[in-house]
Amino acid sequence: MKAAPFSYRRAATLDEALAAGGESSRFLAGGQSLVPMMNLRLTLADTMIDISGLAELRRSAGEGDRVFIGAGVTHAMIEDGRIEDPSRGYLRHVAGGIAFRSVRNRGTLGGSLAHADPAADWPTALLALGAEAVIRSAGGERRLPLARFQLGLMETALRPDEILVGVTVPALSDLARWSYQKFCRKSGEFAHSIAAVVRDPVRELAEVVLGAAGDKPCRLGRVSALLAEGGRVDPQQLGQVVDEDVRDTTGLAASSYEFHLHRTMVVRACARLQEQT
Amino acid sequence: MKLALTVNGAPVAGEIEDRMTLADFVRDHCGLTGTHLGCEHGVCGACSVLVDGEPVRACITLAAAVDGRAVTTIEGFEDDAAMAVIRECFSEAHGLQCGFCTPGMVIMVRDALARGCCGSEHQIRDQLAGNLCRCTGYAGIVKATEMARDRLAKAG
């Protein structure tokens, strides 16, 4: 359970980190997934470039009608309200449910997205919020909708010479409602199923996302469209639409335990959203 | 690489391998063996220590990453009033059996109490879910935490 030898380097600036990056190096933020994987020798790196101390990654700032949240912001910072939450408590709720406090003190939002575990909270939660990834390389900055950021199981659109510096999320209106339902057998473990729903008629947002169900979180198109219409949704109609979406996105047999679990979480999340309106 | 940090209030410096974890550093370099290693991959919580006052898992924190910071291990709570009460309650309420998980457990209890997250049994169990007791002595641990919460509230 000891990592293979590597050299450690702490970057003093983002430019220094970008210059040091390469095929055989890994960027280290909180290390709450990366260090155990190194300890178990599931992943290897010649050089670990520590970017956790970069102040520019640990800030949040308004950008018009959106808010930038730095990749180095920890789950605990969000949980405690130490950074601005433009989502009417959604981000704070999600952050407080990640793993355990000792992990939340070190683990970061950007680290979670870049690690791209399909059962982690941020990839699903932020996809439902309509987040956008802010990516930097020596050549400049590019922005990608989160739907195009995660490509698959622990695979992202990041190139070895790029760093995810943060995300932008929309500032939600007073009319926004959200529901985040996840199923864990034990507090703090990776979820067996996650259903995230965010609806904001002012921001034209109606997103239903299923996580921990495949190689990456999936937006459920039919259910999202149904919620976008507004008004009360007939429970029977909702159930049918959820079944169709879950079947199409997961390919699971309707008789399986997993299918039942996922459809239950999505129906529950939609129902909780309806109760608030 | 060279490392210089504060451990339990005293400055410590040394030459370490880059890959060394904080847990191995406090145990092997500082001789502070109260920090226990259960799983070494961030599952059991036995190695919990404080970095700048916040609990972290020492087995999945690189020593290099806490260069210049202040680390507190279980040996560093001698003058801590809250920890004195927690220790007393763990003793009275049978909050430990073999004692292996106890250093990590009481460090997490102290943090959860300080954050005011121990209002109900459910909340306490949720806060301590990341700390495993292989003796399964959770009933005593929860009782000791409730007892400590009430005594600390009374003491103001």
The per-residue pLDDT for range B74-122, each reduced to its tens digit, is: 999 999 999 999 999 999 999 999 999 999 999 999 999 999 999 999 9
What are the residue ranges of helices labelled H in chain B?
A: 22-24, 81-92, 102-114, 121-127, 138-155
Its pTM stands at 0.96
Residue the block writes with tokens 């103001």: B156
Looking at the structure, do residues A148 and A66 belong to the same domain, yes or no?
A: yes
pLDDT at B156: 77
The structure tokens listed for A118 are: 């399909």
Residue A138 lies in a domain: yes
Looking at the structure, do residues B67 and B14 belong to the same domain, yes or no?
A: yes
Looking at the structure, do residues A164 and A182 belong to the same domain, yes or no?
A: no
- Domain span holding position A238: 177-275
**Shortest Cα distance from B127 to chain A (angstroms)?**
7
B17-21: average pLDDT: 97
Domains: count for chain A? 3
Looking at the structure, do residues A82 and A97 belong to the same domain, yes or no?
A: yes
pLDDT at A151: 97
Residue finishing a domain among B51, B76, B101:
B76
pLDDT in tens, A33-84: 999 999 999 998 999 999 999 999 999 999 999 999 999 999 999 999 999 8
pLDDT in tens, A167-177: 999 999 999 99
Angle ∠(A4,B132,B141) on CA atoms, nearest 5: 150
* Amino acid, res. A51: I
pLDDT higher than threshold 80 for residue A1: no
Looking at the structure, do residues B36 and B52 belong to the same domain, yes or no?
A: yes
The shortest CB-CB distance from A6 to any of B18, B115, B125 is to B18
User: What are the angstrom distances between the C-alpha of A92 and each of A138, A265, B134?
Assistant: 33, 20, 32
pLDDT at A22: 87
**Shortest Cα distance from B93 to chain A (angstroms)?**
24
Percentage of residues of chain B with pLDDT beyond 70? 100
Helix (H, G, I), strand (E, B) or coil at A20: helix
Supply φ then ψ for residue B77, to 5 degrees.
Answer: -110, 20
> Is B67 in contact with A10 (Cβ distance < 8 A)?
yes
Using an 8 Å Cβ cutoff, are B95 and B136 in contact? no
Looking at the structure, do residues A84 and A153 belong to the same domain, yes or no?
A: yes
Looking at the structure, do residues B41 and B106 belong to the same domain, yes or no?
A: no
Residue A241 to residue A245: CA distance in whole angstroms: 6
Residue finishing a domain among B46, B76, B106:
B76
Residue finishing a domain among B56, B76, B96:
B76
Looking at the structure, do residues A135 and A83 belong to the same domain, yes or no?
A: yes
Q: Does A228 touch chain B (CB under 8 A)?
A: no
Looking at the structure, do residues A251 and A163 belong to the same domain, yes or no?
A: no
Residue finishing a domain among A103, A138, A170:
A170
Looking at the structure, do residues B65 and B99 belong to the same domain, yes or no?
A: no
Looking at the structure, do residues A160 and A182 belong to the same domain, yes or no?
A: no
Residues 45-74 in A contacting B (C-alpha not used; CB under 8 Å): 48, 50, 52
The shortest CB-CB distance from A50 to any of B55, B65, B125 is to B65
Looking at the structure, do residues A44 and A62 belong to the same domain, yes or no?
A: no
Nearest to B93 by CA among B150, B154, B34: B150
In CATH, what number is assigned to the domain containing residue B127? 1.10.150.120
Residue A100 to residue B130: CA distance in whole angstroms: 6
The structure tokens listed for B61 are: 């924190």
pLDDT higher than threshold 90 for residue B142: yes
Residue A196 to residue A219: CA distance in whole angstroms: 9
pLDDT in tens, B22-58: 999 999 999 999 999 999 999 999 999 999 999 999 9
Residue A136 to residue B13: CA distance in whole angstroms: 35
Domains: count for chain B? 2
pLDDT higher than threshold 70 for residue B151: yes
pLDDT in tens, A217-261: 999 999 999 999 988 899 999 999 999 999 999 999 999 999 999
Helix (H, G, I), strand (E, B) or coil at A65: coil
Residue finishing a domain among A170, A185, A205:
A170
With the C-alpha atoms ordered B109, B115, B119, B123, is the resulting torsion angle positive or negative?
Answer: negative
pLDDT in tens, A175-224: 999 999 999 999 999 999 999 999 999 999 999 999 999 999 999 999 99
In CATH, what number is assigned to the domain containing residue B50? 3.10.20.30
What H or E segment, with its residue span, contains residue A170?
Answer: strand A163-170
Pairing status of strand A66-70 against strand A60-63: antiparallel
Residue A1 lies in a domain: no
Residue A230 to residue A241: CA distance in whole angstroms: 15
pLDDT at A232: 86
The structure tokens listed for A106 are: 């070190």
Interface probe, candidates B17, B22, B56, B132, chain A, greatest A C-beta count within 10 A:
B56
Residue A2 lies in a domain: no
A17-36: average pLDDT: 94
Using an 8 Å Cβ cutoff, are A67 and A44 in contact? no
What H or E segment, with its residue span, contains residue A143?
Answer: strand A140-145
- Domain span holding position B124: 81-155
Looking at the structure, do residues B6 and B48 belong to the same domain, yes or no?
A: yes
Residue the block writes with tokens 């608030």: A276
Using an 8 Å Cβ cutoff, are B87 and B123 in contact? no
Residue A108 lies in a domain: yes
Q: Give A49's strand partners.
A: A9, A27
pLDDT in tens, A121-139: 999 999 999 999 999 999 9
Looking at the structure, do residues B50 and B97 belong to the same domain, yes or no?
A: no
Q: Could you give the count of Cα atoms lying within 13 Å of A205 in the half-sphere of its Cβ?
A: 24
Interface probe, candidates A25, A101, A106, A117, chain B, greatest B C-beta count within 10 A:
A101
pLDDT at A13: 97
Residues near A112 by beta carbon (within 8 Å), at least 6 away in sequence: A33, A75, A98, A120, A121, A122, A123
Nearest to B40 by CA among A118, A38, A6: A38
In CATH, what number is assigned to the domain containing residue A69? 3.30.465.10
pLDDT at A277: 66
Residue finishing a domain among A138, A170, A202:
A170
- The 8-class DSSP code of residue A231 comes to S
